[in-house]
Amino acid sequence: MAKNKTMWLILGALGIGGLILLLRKPKVSARAGVPTRAGVLGVPAVAPTVAPTTIQGKLIAIASQQTGLPESELTVRSLLPLDVGLATWSFNLTAVGGWNTVAAGNVASDRFIAITGVSYSGTVAEQIRISAASSTVAYFSIQHVPGITTTHHMDISPIIVQQNQPVIIEVYSSAAAGTDEVILEGMTVEPRGRLLA
C-alpha cells in the first residue's frame, strides 16, 4: 500500500512539474524580443516570428537577416550560371577517370543561392559533387538512365549557400572527355535592382 502512495505522489509531482514547464513564458532578451536559451544571453532559442516553410522563404529570411534589408527590398530570380562562377552551363571535361573542377569561387556579396535540382541530357558527366563553406554538401550520380535519351531532371535536397561563401562544383567523368552541359536549377535572392533575370 505504501509503494502505491509513493508511486502516485511521484507521478503527481512529475505531472505538475510538466504543466509548470509548459505554461511558463520563455525568457526574452532585450534584443528584438527574441526568446533566449537558458544560460546563454541573447542567443535565440526559437526563430523570431513564424519560421518560413519553403526554401524561397528560408532564403529570403536569411538574406533579410544578414543584409538588414526588409523583405520588400529583396528580389527572387532563377539561378544563373554566374551565381556559381560559370559563364554558361556548358563546360569542358578533360580529366578522364577523375574529378573536373568546373566552378570555384565565392558567392557574391549580398547574394544568396539555393540549388534545388539538376537537368542533364549529356553522356560525358556521371557524377556531381558540390562543396560550400569548405565542406561537401551534395554528391550525386547524374548518369543517364538506359533507354531514356531526352533531358532528365532530378530534384535534390536543397543546398543553401550564403553570401561570400566559397562554392565548388566538380563533375566526374570516367569514360570520355569532352564538352557537356549540366544545368543546376534553383533560385537567387539579392537586393532589388542588382540584376535583371
Q: CA angle at residue 113 from 109 to 117, to 5 degrees?
A: 160
pLDDT, average across residues 111-130: 87
Show the cell assigned to 34. 527574441
Which of 12-26, 30-44, 72-86, 89-103 comes out lowest in average pLDDT? Answer: 30-44
Contact by Cβ (8 Å): 89, 128: no
pTM over the 0.85 mark? no
- Cα distance between residue 36 and residue 165, in whole Å: 28
What are the residue boundaries of the structural domains of the chain, listed by start?
78-191
Query: CB under 8 Å to 192, separation ≥6 — which residues?
Result: 73, 74, 75
Contact by Cβ (8 Å): 152, 121: yes
pLDDT band at 139 (very low <50, low <70, confident <90, very high): confident
Mention the CATH class of domain 78-191: mainly beta
3-state secondary structure (DSSP) of residue 42: strand
Cα of 25 vs its chain's centroid, Å: 32
Q: CA angle at residue 51 from 65 to 138, to 5 degrees?
A: 80
Show the cell assigned to 82. 554566374
pLDDT in tens, 152-196: 788 888 999 999 999 999 998 877 778 888 889 999 999 998 765
3-state secondary structure (DSSP) of residue 194: coil
pLDDT in tens, 2-24: 667 777 777 666 666 665 655 66
